[in-house]
Amino acid sequence: MYRKTRHILLSRKTVLALILLLLGGVVLAYVFPQRFLSSSAEMERWQRTHLFWAPWVARLGLDHVYTTGWFASLLGAFCLSLTVSCWDQLRLAARRTLTGALPVGRHHGTHADGQAVESAIRGEGYVCLGSGGGARRFVRHPWGYWGNALLHLGMVIALTSSLVIVLTQKRGLVELVEGEIHSPGSPWTSEDRGTMAERFALPQRVRLDTVAPEFWETDDLKQVTSSLSFLGPDGAVAGQQTLAINRIGNLDGIHIYQGQRFGNAFYVVFTDNSGRAIKKILQMQSPLRRDTASYENISVDGIPYLIKAKYYADAERKSMADGNPLLVLRLVDEGKVIAELPLKKGEEGELGPYRARLVHVSHWAELVFTGYTGMPGIFLGFFIIILGGGLSFFTPPRELFVTREENGVALTCRSGRFDHSQGDECARILAALRGEDAL
């Protein structure tokens, strides 16, 4: 039973079939929209326009390919096959390094002085790896034997690590306005959690103190920097950190990243005819250029209209530095704009049946918190894959055998995988042997 299973797992056809099926899975995940990559609105729209595929999507889990049982089974079978194969490859590499039989019928020539031949061979970078059967075996790049084994080992490590990450990952994304606090257990703006991971909660309260975007003169983004404070149970500041894109923070092993999204937060107070004040913070993403606006559709509790908002980084369109942003509010009733009001900081005016005042403008930014286990395994695995590939293709091993004969020694080459280059080398060594001192 064990042998049969092993045979099936190592069968070349099984390996190839598994690779192709996994590739097929990846292609399916590319063709069909995936839940973790698309919003629920996008998923619904796709389902409405692809009625034929809907039952298949539901039956085969084509909208979440990477977390389906069939994909996990394929991946598991592939990992198992790879592990067994890796073990075989390691044993094969060890055997090839330590032993090697003299090839039959590939005798290339003889020379009287055995010492001279051996020293010439060593001069070419060959290392003597032992003797047996009356022959001394010399190998150039003996580490090349380990290329395939390392290639397989690296794949096992990378796949296993990615599986660990998928199962245990915790990744929470939160959008905070300057001065806002995210407490342990508060809901995330969005969260990715592995199937075996517990709810992701921070060990301390985190406050976003400041956000400072910088721009090039071409209006392209130069950098976004945020400063954070970690608050103890008594509300006192227990620590502070500054984040930026590509500058990662750390909170008790949890990595904190500056997200890509940021912008202005507009504190607007709407007052209706009865004098009731409705306060709303409008978080809008930073515009891409000084002469283009950023747009957002906003629903406000207590206001039965849709508010369409847009803002320019600078009211005079002269820079991206946001000292004087312009917010324009439009009140929309059943698709028709019924009122419009441009506002700068401190200004107020009529917006249909409401009076709106822009009280304050600050910044908001997206922060990403991650808790991963297994990340070094991914990078180590890939490093070993690269090492294995490098050893296989850059330094293929070459073997020479020196056998004692009556009148001296005979030299025999074994064909390597990339024989054309070894053929040249053998010819050169043999020519040198014929010329006595050429090496």
CB of 65 to other proteins, least distance (A): 10
Compare residues 32 and 305 and give the one whose CB is closer to other proteins: 32
CA 95 to chain centre: 36
Nearer to other proteins by C-beta: 245 or 269? 245
Q: Which residues pair with 277 in a beta bridge?
A: 271
135 vs 202, which CB is nearer to other proteins? 202
Characterize 257-290 residue by residue with b for buried, 16 or more Cβ atoms within 10 angstroms of its Cβ, and e for exposed: bbbeebbbbbbbbbeeeeeeeeebebbbbbbeeb
| Minimal distance, residue 416 CB to other proteins, in Å | 10
* Orientation of helix 2-10 relative to helix 12-31, angle to 10°: 60
Least spacing, CB of residue 423 vs other proteins, in Å:
9
Half-sphere exposure of 36 (CA within 13 A, CB side): 14
**For residues 167 and 157, what is the distance between their CA atoms, to the nearest angstrom?**
15
Extract long-range pairs of 191-200: CB within 8 Å, 24+ residues apart. Answer: 192/36, 193/169, 194/165, 194/166, 194/167, 194/168, 194/169, 194/170, 195/67, 195/166, 195/167, 196/167, 196/168, 197/167, 197/168, 197/169, 197/170, 198/170, 200/170, 200/171, 200/172, 200/369, 200/371
**Residue (114 or 390) nearer to other proteins, CB:** 390
Q: Could you tell me the smallest distance in angstroms from the CB atom of residue 419 to other proteins?
A: 7
Instruction: Between 34 and 47, name the residue whose CB sits nearer to other proteins.
Output: 34
- Token output for 426: 């053998």
**What 3-state DSSP class applies to 276?**
coil
Residue closer to other proteins (CB basis): 48 or 420: 420
Residue in 331, 381, 348 with CA at minimum distance from that of residue 86: 381
Q: How many CA atoms lie within 13 A of 228 on its CB side?
A: 25
* Smallest gap from residue 378 Cβ to other proteins (A): 6
Where does this chain bind other proteins (CB under 8 A)? 12, 15-16, 19-20, 22-23, 26-27, 29-30, 34, 37, 66, 148, 162, 165, 171, 216, 218, 220-224, 244-246, 248, 255, 257, 260, 368, 370, 375, 378-379, 382-383, 385-386, 389-390, 392-394, 417-421
Nearest distance, CB of residue 151 and other proteins, angstroms: 9
CB closer to other proteins, 322 vs 366: 366
Q: Please, which residue, 72 or 375, has the CB nearer to other proteins?
A: 375
- Least separation in angstroms between residue 92's CB and other proteins is 12
Burial tier of 307 (Cβ tally within 10 Å: 0-12, 13-18, 19+): buried
Rounded least distance, CB 160 to other proteins, Å: 15
- Three-state SS string over 206-241 comes to EEEEEEEEEECCCCCEEEEEEEEEEECCCCCEEEEE
| Residue with Cβ nearer other proteins (214 or 350) | 214
Strand 354-371 to strand 277-285: parallel, antiparallel, or no bridges (unpaired)?
unpaired
Shortest CB 255 distance to other proteins, Å: 6
Residue 136 or 398 having the CB closest to other proteins: 398
Distances (CA, A) of 397 to 144, 206, 416: 5, 57, 7
Task: Pick between residue 23 and residue 237 the one whose CB is nearest to other proteins.
Answer: 23
Name the burial class of residue 331, with classes exposed (0-12), middle (13-18) and buried (19+) by CB atoms within 10 angstroms of its CB.
Answer: buried
- Cα separation of the two ends of the chain: 56
* CB 315 to other proteins: min, Å: 24
> Measured between alpha carbons, how far is 256 from 369 in angstroms, rounded to an integer?
5
Query: Cβ 37 to other proteins, closest distance in Å?
Result: 6
| Min separation Cβ 257 and other proteins, Å | 4
CA distance 93 to 137: 16
Nearer to other proteins, 181 or 386 (CB): 386
